[in-house]
Structure 1
């Protein structure tokens, strides 16, 4: 900033729109740990110096999908080299449960086995290698029962972890009956492995007077604290849980980290030694939950333009053997059945299926992607049936935007099937902008021309939208706390309840705090998230980390800054109106003050030191709760989301009709993050979310052995058998832009969440692949039926070839 000569100039500079360019907000500032990541100095739990006497834990896992333990011979385990403790379910002093909502998930199985890979005993040894060698010496005999491994089998057996749920709006049966056109269909989308770079790990060490401190790679330190207390019979003030950073989480460390935190803590208290439990990648994939796979069946009625008049749909999810977070995951799927489309008459039945597989859990999008999948599939079916461009059908089904509502308020189409009135819809204008910038119409014609002359390679093209609600469905979790310390030299240390898993939460909140005090970023540092510093925290999930913790940190800063401003005003004999914080300085006073003091100026550090000497409090806590939200979980009605994040993606693909190989040729994304706090981080999240979503829909296939000695075993339990996208799978043209918008709600700096919404942009990949499959079938049969070929996700090469074969052999059905 140019040196101001009077207060009026300082005020003018601070009100100037260019101030945003001078401060940290809205700038593409590198991740706060980037320099540590690239230099190898970022400390993860396995990098911490180990306390003397640290023991290492390993898991004894079941080799039966469903049954009862007849005999458990651990004699060789007890006498194995280095073994210090063998721990069984009967040794747990209090509650043998790590279920986050329902107490139906044992930390260690006692006699009943619910899935292949369930923990049946644990070993602590002097070294990691000794512990892993010891668990392999166990001899176990089972009485095997018939397992349920698929959604279809669960439905036939009426096997549920929670009762079925129905949600209805309007006269669906009548609307279907009277619709000019009607289609029935079915599809399925698989689950997904989190595949975080850092596996599940906890390091627990006992302290004096029956207390324990746990380093845990978790998105929810407070839940870890509670469940450890339940297992040990401790109270909350005896347990502290710390998380500085994770090597990825994606929802897999929200509730699933609890089992390992509990086991490490139980062993530490039992042995009186520090205990580290780090899961091997294979054990991690076998023993931890995934994204829920879903099956869908629907009946849809529509008019000549493709407008949906009625929809009846059944969604059935594979929850695994226990509840975990399946209730809220499936409820969010219900809430996102509409995606960006108005549904006037809809009947939804949600089945929460119990199978004898690992309990499925939170994953980026938390049921939203599974909810959106069928409606995009249905829109494509309708467009194909009518011979319309899919984008035209999408446009006609969108919720009304502000302009449309103002023009026709009496017939406004802006209320969701769960009772929320949408006031911030920008999808129509956002999609039209993307369609123009990606040259949708011309490229659609070019692809049709290419397919007409290419006998083997077929291209597909699709543009799909995203409308994603931001907030926890469980209203109580929409709160956060923060603690800010200003030291006497003017530096700042802060912590809050959010956890950093690489997504840039700490980076954004560092920018927010630096902005509030108008100080350099280098003067702001984080301490680790710790339940002993900020209590009663919510999970870092639901894309709300910055929304909640950013506001809490801002509140603490405002309280401290106000104290400093009052102090500065007293020193300058002026009022608060004449105190300004700007670029590392504090200005106070007026140019024509009668006392002769005039304009006073200090560096931030100078004023802070004087405030300390004057015994002014220089630390404080901040708290925030999301306003204007409410949700009735019994009838699934209300306003569960504070606002919506919007986006759209246009994707061009090519398939080899002989091998089923696919290639993503080009992707164009336009995404709404409101007023971005850090565009570089936001764009990175959009790119990463899209690629992860692409993997879910194309290559990441989970497969459980269906028969034989290893029935129920997860065959895809390692990188050798489970394929996540690599750099080679990324589109060669990948254009990402931020939509020019600001949040209508009073979020932190009018920004919007960016963690989960971009994941669902990848639905455009699946729609484009279906488009290419349709082109292949039409070319081979020489006819164009009214039934679009059926494709299931993930669209692996096998799935692509299967869809082409069925489309050719059964061009007129059967459907579903």
Structure 2
């Protein structure tokens, strides 16, 4: 194979080397090829630091430029492809202007023979490029690779500590470090080593920029490289498969990263390695390299390993799956289907009937609930109905009864989590390694995407700087599980709340204090490299604590628990952070169609389906506001594939975001057409303007379209894009009371504060919050799926499967919307509301666990105890532990056949 071309930058100038020598070091290249002799050769083994230069590289995964101080005497020049090298000549000179790093070292008398000085200067310079105001500890670490025989190091540190945080003093100009006088004395002796006023200020904005050519093109990172000489061939693979192939072909080849071993062996032991492999661009290895989980766990004050699991949940939409297929003339087929995804039904019906899609129309007027259960599973009814109708030429209808629907359509995915967490003695989480196991049932369906969202949401609202998360989709003998409101997010956040409570318990602090300590802040990055914008979780928390009278209730609960043995109370605070967007990029689009008729009435069509969430009402509001007309003039008939084609499912909480923007797009087109007419008739009415437009032959029909911008994150192919458009946040506080003898419980109060931007319709949105909370409450406390060992569902129908009822709502239920938090990334500054509040329902679960802990304390039991979700009466009763539960004998596993299995 032919040689690659080596391209890198030195002090801002592009260097192109056609046939680089793989045995040549960066130091040799700088001094002999480029004649940049400021970088010194002191030891040739990376021990003295005289050869230190700064190498800058764009980390495309984190979208961040990283600056490294490296030993040029060991670094192969071939490893510089796509990098920017800065030498001491590149930052300043006595012939032009000294850089502050050079100047302060000189004025602090930190250079004597001067041979070590360029390396020390570049170590400090690299540190400042990474941290504008480092700590003294950072300073000491930065110089661990530099030696100086002359100065004894003190003047070097004295000069450079002027850049550090510790150098600042509250005494200001009266500080002894500034005045030079002894602390606490009237001494006239001048103790100053240097005059600080003489120093140039450090201005990071004046530093050389990273070469735009390297920043704009990823070819420097994505291309495999080969550099050959007569003796040595250098390879740089870009993926694990290529690396393994090279190792198989050249088993004796050495892997070269920092070259600290091979470089020394070649220089001093005269070893010859004909094949060298540089794996620094192998993405699969970079993940391990960047995580360094073992290191961060070793540095933590505490580590803890735990598990948590939660069951599934039946959708229990009141209208079961149903479809009606009607054959029409010209080989056309019309379907009326209870589906959240009409376009998917249209596509698959066209496929099974061998008809083109334009001959199949799918209509959905409204659904009697869906919650994700009708996103993909409706095809199990629609396809046989459509095929039978097409073949027989007669209308065919099918509607599942409740038992059939529960048996075959799937549920929310049960999850098991295993985690290891490292944290400080104050409770600050420093590292987490978590494994997520998703019970998919017998087929994939949407299970992979559900798992992905769980992995993206497991940290909830907490910043964990070092994360390794793995996920597995598990095939079992259950019906195929599917989408459900939250789509894996609640399962993931459930693990995060277990982690934060484990940490609080171990360090002995109130869980709210540990939450505050670990909360994300605006500007932080998630573990999938998305920066958080407009992230008001702390405001939500403080407002909710105040609204719920948290401190006062905490004292009341403690007093109640002291006075009652067999009834206990608990209270829990749960925050939520829910990402808004489809995980599959192409679904983040929507269309609309607006027709204005001669009488001024407006027919609006969009790609969303009305499921009871108020989508049509919001779309009418958006159109009325944009067109400047009363809502009464606008009507939405249905969702149909012959009006708006290629629609996305009404799911992921983005129905209003996507379709609302598409509606606005159509309205803007119509307003633009009507503008001249309104100018000509400034006092006219809407009907007069429309009548005039008709006679002037102005089109009164417009389509709208919207594609959500800036999203499409993929760790390998698109690491700099957003995973989600934005996040919806909220906090809930719930108080419960349990009966320790029966396991029954009652929710006494719930307070919720949600950030939903500028609400499109507060009445609808508060209803969505309340409904989501109750559904989440059922998920975590009441609704238990039970199966036979063979996978047959026992708990089918409302007689066996218990949903929350009227008597289960909180005795006191307060919902507030956060004010002053507009969202610039959605229609009219609103935020999605359908799924985000659901996880707040888990506050009842964690409050129950706290109440159980109080009961166990009376029994002399302390420490953590297992409690799976849902926390049913049976689980609460057994967990309370008393003289009655001790009478139960638990048989050995494997000694019996269980009558039911809880996934």
Fold-level similarity (TM above 0.5)? yes
How many angstroms does 1:806 deviate by?
A: 9.7
CA gap 1:612/1:319 in 2 versus in 1, 3 angstroms? same
1:563 maps to which residue?
Answer: 673
Contact 2:367 2:610 in 1 (8 A): yes
Match runs of 1:152-191 below 5 Å: 170-191=291-312
Match runs of 1:569-718 below 5 Å: 569=679, 571=680, 588=682, 601-632=683-714, 637=719, 638-706=721-789, 711-718=790-797
Contact 1:385 1:788 in 2 (8 A): no
Match runs of 1:117-196 below 5 Å: 170-196=291-317
CA gap 1:167/1:271 in 2 versus in 1, 3 angstroms? farther
Cα distance in 2 between the residues matched to 1:523 and 1:378:
52
Cα distance in 2 between the residues matched to 1:534 and 1:698:
41
How many angstroms does 1:632 deviate by?
A: 1.1
CA gap 1:741/1:170 in 2 versus in 1, 3 angstroms? farther
Contact 1:169 1:347 in 2 (8 A): no
1:761 and 2:840 aligned? yes
Contact 1:380 1:767 in 2 (8 A): no
Cα distance in 1 between the residues matched to 2:290 and 2:801:
40
Match runs of 1:228-247 below 5 Å: 228-247=349-368
From 624, 638, 641, give the equivalent of 1:531: 641
From 861, 864, 872, give the equivalent of 1:796: 872
Cα deviations by residue, 1:277-335 (Å, 9 ceiling, x for unpaired): 10011000001011000011111111112111111111101100111001111100011
Cα deviations by residue, 1:680-728 (Å, 9 ceiling, x for unpaired): 000000000000000000111001111xxxx321001111100010111
Contact 1:673 1:741 in 2 (8 A): no
From 753, 776, 788, give the equivalent of 2:855: 776
Name the SS of the counterpart of 1:554 in structure 2: helix
Name the SS of the counterpart of 2:684 in structure 1: strand
How many angstroms does 1:635 deviate by?
A: 7.5
From 806, 820, 828, give the equivalent of 1:749: 828
Contact 1:256 1:288 in 2 (8 A): yes
Cα distance in 2 between the residues matched to 1:750 and 1:639:
19
Q: Of the two structures, which has the highest relative contact order with CA contacts closer than 8 Å and spacing of 6 or more?
A: 1
Match runs of 1:393-408 below 5 Å: 393-401=514-522
From 372, 376, 383, give the equivalent of 1:255: 376
Name the SS of the counterpart of 2:533 in structure 1: coil
Cα distance in 2 between the residues matched to 1:197 and 1:397:
41
The number of equivalent residue pairs is 599
CA gap 1:633/1:381 in 2 versus in 1, 3 angstroms? same
Cα deviations by residue, 1:723-756 (Å, 9 ceiling, x for unpaired): 0101110011000010113334231110000000
From 336, 356, 378, give the equivalent of 2:477: 356
Cα deviations by residue, 1:189-208 (Å, 9 ceiling, x for unpaired): 00000000110000001112
Give the stretch that moved more between structures: 431-440 or 538-547.
431-440
CA gap 1:168/1:340 in 2 versus in 1, 3 angstroms? farther
Name the SS of the counterpart of 1:632 in structure 2: coil
Name the SS of the counterpart of 1:251 in structure 2: coil
Cα distance in 2 between the residues matched to 1:356 and 1:560:
54
Cα distance in 2 between the residues matched to 1:805 and 1:639:
48
1:432 maps to which residue?
Answer: 542
Contact 2:678 2:684 in 1 (8 A): no
1:519 and 2:519 aligned? no
How many angstroms does 1:424 deviate by?
A: 1.6
Cα deviations by residue, 1:160-191 (Å, 9 ceiling, x for unpaired): xxxxxx99963222222221112111111000
1:14 maps to which residue?
Answer: none
Contact 2:321 2:399 in 1 (8 A): yes
How many angstroms does 1:232 deviate by?
A: 1.5
Cα deviations by residue, 1:214-267 (Å, 9 ceiling, x for unpaired): 001111000111111121122211211000100000000000111111011011
Cα distance in 2 between the residues matched to 1:448 and 1:792:
25
1:458 maps to which residue?
Answer: 568
How many angstroms does 1:624 deviate by?
A: 0.5
Name the SS of the counterpart of 1:630 in structure 2: coil
1:594 maps to which residue?
Answer: none
1:206 and 2:206 aligned? no
1:11 maps to which residue?
Answer: none
Cα distance in 2 between the residues matched to 1:389 and 1:742:
28
Name the SS of the counterpart of 1:315 in structure 2: strand
Contact 1:480 1:552 in 2 (8 A): yes
Name the SS of the counterpart of 2:697 in structure 1: coil
Cα distance in 1 between the residues matched to 2:769 and 2:713:
29
Cα distance in 1 between the residues matched to 2:311 and 2:403:
20
Contact 1:167 1:636 in 2 (8 A): no
Cα distance in 2 between the residues matched to 1:719 and 1:516:
45
1:59 maps to which residue?
Answer: none
Name the SS of the counterpart of 1:565 in structure 2: helix
Cα deviations by residue, 1:131-162 (Å, 9 ceiling, x for unpaired): xxxxxxxxxxxxxxxxxxxxxxxxxxxxxxxx
Cα distance in 2 between the residues matched to 1:519 and 1:423:
34
Cα distance in 1 between the residues matched to 2:715 and 2:387:
35
Higher strand share: 1
Contact 2:726 2:825 in 1 (8 A): no
Cα distance in 2 between the residues matched to 1:258 and 1:632:
29
Cα distance in 1 between the residues matched to 2:696 and 2:702:
17
1:224 and 2:224 aligned? no
Contact 2:315 2:411 in 1 (8 A): yes
How many angstroms does 1:567 deviate by?
A: 2.2
Contact 2:823 2:830 in 1 (8 A): no
CA gap 1:806/1:199 in 2 versus in 1, 3 angstroms? farther
Contact 1:199 1:279 in 2 (8 A): yes
How many angstroms does 1:801 deviate by?
A: 2.0
How many angstroms does 1:809 deviate by?
A: 7.5
Contact 1:694 1:765 in 2 (8 A): yes
Name the SS of the counterpart of 1:215 in structure 2: strand
1:735 and 2:818 aligned? no
Contact 1:167 1:348 in 2 (8 A): no
CA gap 1:228/1:775 in 2 versus in 1, 3 angstroms? same
Contact 1:457 1:656 in 2 (8 A): yes
1:805 and 2:881 aligned? yes
User: What TM-score, normalized to structure 1?
Assistant: 0.72
1:421 maps to which residue?
Answer: 531
Gapped runs of 5+ residues in structure 2?
A: 1-286, 888-903
How many angstroms does 1:630 deviate by?
A: 2.3
CA gap 1:506/1:182 in 2 versus in 1, 3 angstroms? same
From 799, 802, 806, give the equivalent of 1:723: 802
CA gap 1:741/1:329 in 2 versus in 1, 3 angstroms? farther
Cα deviations by residue, 1:579-606 (Å, 9 ceiling, x for unpaired): xxxxxxxxx2xxxxxxxxxxxx111011
Contact 2:325 2:396 in 1 (8 A): yes
From 427, 430, 442, give the equivalent of 1:309: 430
Cα distance in 2 between the residues matched to 1:690 and 1:279:
28
Contact 1:480 1:537 in 2 (8 A): yes
From 558, 577, 587, give the equivalent of 1:448: 558
Cα distance in 2 between the residues matched to 1:467 and 1:237:
41
Contact 1:742 1:751 in 2 (8 A): no
Name the SS of the counterpart of 1:455 in structure 2: coil
Name the SS of the counterpart of 2:736 in structure 1: strand
1:485 maps to which residue?
Answer: 595
Contact 1:168 1:346 in 2 (8 A): no
Contact 1:211 1:238 in 2 (8 A): yes
Cα distance in 2 between the residues matched to 1:797 and 1:167:
44
How many angstroms does 1:633 deviate by?
A: 6.4
How many angstroms does 1:515 deviate by?
A: 1.1
Contact 1:659 1:797 in 2 (8 A): yes
